Structure 1
C-alpha cells in the first residue's frame, strides 16, 4: 500500500490525453512481452507508473483496452504504408507495391500488435472506433486496387498475398526470405507481391 500514493502522484503528471497514450504504449509493451493470454490491466498500470484503477477508468476492462490498442494499431498500420508510399514512384502500381511492403514492415516491427489486429478475438470489432479504423485500412487497399483497374476479387488476392507474407515473416516461418538483407528481402517481396496484381490493361 505504501507505493499507492506515489503512483497517484505520478498519475497527476499526465494530462488526460497523455495518460491515455501512456496506457496504450504500456499496453503494447505488455502485449509484446506476455501475449494476449497473459495480458492484464494491473501489469499495464504498473508499466505506466499509475494507479491500478487508471486503465479501468479509461477503458473499463482488458477487452476495452485491447480494442483501443487495436484501433490505434490500424492507424499505425496505415502510417507504415504511407511511409513506404512517400518513398515510391507516384504511379498507382508502385504505390500499391509500396503499401504491401509497408504491410510487411508493420508486422515485423509490431508482431504482437499485428496478431491482435488480425488474429485475435480479444478486441471488439463492433466498437465504432475500431470498426472505423479497420474500415479505413481496407478502404485504402480498395482505392489502390481500383486505381490499377482491379475489382474486389483482385483486392482479395492482393490482401491475401501481402498478409500471408507479413504473417509468415513475422512468425519467422518464411526462412528463405528471413535470412536476406533488408534490400534483398524487399526485392523478393516486390516480385511476389506484383504477381498478385491485376494484369495491366492492353
Structure 2
C-alpha cells in the first residue's frame, strides 16, 4: 500500500497449485509496475508469485475483506500476447515449464516469474532441463533470461553434459555419520 498509485492491496497464501504461494491483490496500479517496484525493495522469496488486479473487493457481512471470495489468479498470465513455440527445443521447454508451474499453455515470451515461478521452482526446472536436454543450465541464466525463448537460446549455446541422477545408497542396518551429524 505504500507504493504510489496503489489504492488498496491484500496478500494471501493460496494452495491452488498444490504448494503454498503468495498471491497479491491490488487496486489502482498496473500489476507489472507493482512487481517491478517490489523487486527493488524486497528479496525474491518475499515477492508474491501471483498478482491479480481487482476493481471491487468482496466484503463479508461484517464489512471485512472476504479472503475466501477473492478470485484465483489467472495461471495463464499474458494470454492475450501468447506466442506459440516455433521449434522442438521451445516446445519441450514450454512443456517443462507447464509441469513445473502447474499451469499452461506457456508462450515463448511468457516470463517464468510472472507465471508464478520462484527460486525453488527454477531449481526444479534446471533439473528437468538437464534430464530432457542433457545440458547443465546455470541458475543465474533462468533469472537473466526468464522466457522460453531466452532459455532455448541458452540451451543451444551450451555443450552437452550428460544427466546423472544420484544413485541410492545400498541398503544397510547402519550408516556412517557425516561431520555435520557428529
Structure in which a larger fraction of residues adopt strand: 2
TM score, norm. by length of structure 1 = 0.29
Higher relative contact order (CA 8 A, sep 6+): 1
Structure in which a larger fraction of residues adopt helix: 1
TM score, norm. by length of structure 2 = 0.31
